[in-house]
């Protein structure tokens, strides 16, 4: 396995990898991406460039391929056809080089239910080669300090989602893939997570740099408010790709028709 040069130290040097990729190289570049599940086409011919530092809102009805697209970008699913470059690495060939730079917050929390929140985070931190101090910082940022000793299965839906978000942010990722991060959360939890997962967050190594985010969701208003670019998927095809200012309610309605 080859390890990217930026991961040379046991703890990633803050900001080391950022200066290396200046403007022109987009964070995500898809060219005619096709993803099949067996015989079924889940993504058809998706072409897309996401510049580094932008937030892309991913809209579309259930089954449109949003989660699949996120999993492909995370390197968890292979593209069946077409080009797929993430952070300058060709997928699926170089997916190992991404290790830790892409984070994915999925529907399911991806935490061990029997273990405590802290144990889960510490374990993940060790695999991500992140300093243990980061775990404490994130527990504080998510307001989970008092519940860090609880097993994950004892947590409510909202608290579990906070713990999952903390795990997502451990390695201070360059690309954030969020699958309905704020679904079914109460207003307090929503506010906390929104701060944590924001493009520039106070827990990041370089608080001024905006990270690239791709956020899937069902709430067009919220998506339009925070996104720089909106991608609408329908039946696995790109149905809509424009900045929020250029999108009309009719187009949104058409997408969910």
Partner 1 sequence: MPHTRRLVPLTIATVVACVVWIAVVVLVAPTQQVAGVDEGVRSKLTFLHPALAIITIAAFIVGGVFGWRHLSHDRPLDDLRAYVAIHLGQVFCVMALVTGAIWGKAAWGVWWDWGEPVLVSFLIMFLLYATYQPMRFAIEDPERQARTASVFAVTAGIFTPVCFGVARLTTNFLHPQPLNDPGGSFGAEAGLAFVLSIVAIGILFITLWHLELVAKATRIRLRRVQRDVEGEEAVPLVARASSPVTL
Partner 2 sequence: MSDRRSSDLRTLLLLEWRRERRVPQVLPTMLLFSIGAFVLFRFGLQDGRVEGPLAAGVLLVTTLLAALLGIGRLWAAEEEEGGLDAFRLTPASPTALVLAKALALWTFLLALHVVAVPAFLFLLAPHVDVAALPRLAAVLVLTDLGIAVVGTLVGAVAAVARSRELLVPLMAVPLLIPAVAIASEALAPLLERDAGSIEPRWWLVLALYDAVFVAVAWAVSDGIVED
Q: Which residues bind partner 2 (CB under 8 A)?
A: 1, 3, 7, 74-78, 96, 99-100, 102-104, 106, 108-115, 119, 123-124, 126-129, 151, 167
Site map 71..110 versus partner 1, x via CB under 8 A: ------xx-------------x------------------
Binding partner at 119 among partner 2, partner 1, none, C-beta below 5 to 8 Å by kind: partner 2
Site map 30..69 versus partner 1, x via CB under 8 A: ------xxxxxx----------------------------
- Contacts of range 125-134, beta carbons closer than 8 Å, 24 or more positions apart: 125/170, 128/99, 128/100, 128/170, 128/171, 129/7, 129/9, 129/10, 129/11, 129/12, 129/100, 130/11, 130/12, 130/100, 130/170, 130/171, 130/172, 131/11, 134/170, 134/172
Binding partner at 37 among partner 2, partner 1, none, C-beta below 5 to 8 Å by kind: partner 1
Q: Which is nearer to partner 2, 125 or 215 (CB)?
A: 125
Q: Which two tokens stand for residue 60?
A: 């579309």
* Residues that bind partner 1 in the complex, under the rule CB under 8 A: 36-41, 77-78, 92
């Amino acid at each position: 396995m080859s390890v990217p040069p930026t991961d040379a130290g046991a703890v990633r040097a803050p900001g080391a990898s950022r200066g290396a990729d200046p403007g022109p190289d987009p964070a995500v570049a898809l060219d005619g991406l096709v993803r099949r599940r067996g015989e079924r086409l889940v993504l058809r011919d998706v072409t897309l460039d996401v510049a580094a530092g932008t937030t892309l809102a991913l809209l579309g009805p259930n089954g449109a391929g949003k989660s699949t697209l996120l999993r492909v970008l995370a390197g968890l699913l292979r593209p069946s056809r077409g080009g797929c470059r993430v952070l300058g690495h060709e997928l699926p060939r170089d997916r190992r080089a991404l290790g830790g730079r892409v984070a994915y917050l999925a529907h399911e929390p991806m935490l061990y239910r029997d273990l405590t929140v802290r144990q889960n985070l510490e374990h993940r931190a060790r695999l991500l080669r992140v300093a243990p101090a980061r775990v404490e910082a994130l527990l504080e940022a998510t307001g989970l300090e008092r519940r860090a000793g609880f097993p994950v299965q004892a947590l409510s839906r909202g608290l579990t989602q906070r713990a999952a978000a903390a795990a997502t942010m451990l390695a201070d990722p360059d690309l954030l893939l969020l699958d309905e991060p704020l679904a079914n959360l109460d207003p307090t939890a929503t506010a906390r997570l929104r701060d944590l997962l924001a493009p520039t967050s106070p827990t990041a190594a370089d608080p001024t740099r905006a990270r690239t985010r791709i956020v899937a969701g069902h709430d067009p208003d919220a998506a339009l408010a925070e996104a720089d670019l909106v991608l609408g998927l329908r039946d696995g095809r790109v149905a809509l790709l424009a900045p929020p200012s250029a999108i009309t309610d009719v187009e949104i309605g058409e997408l969910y028709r």
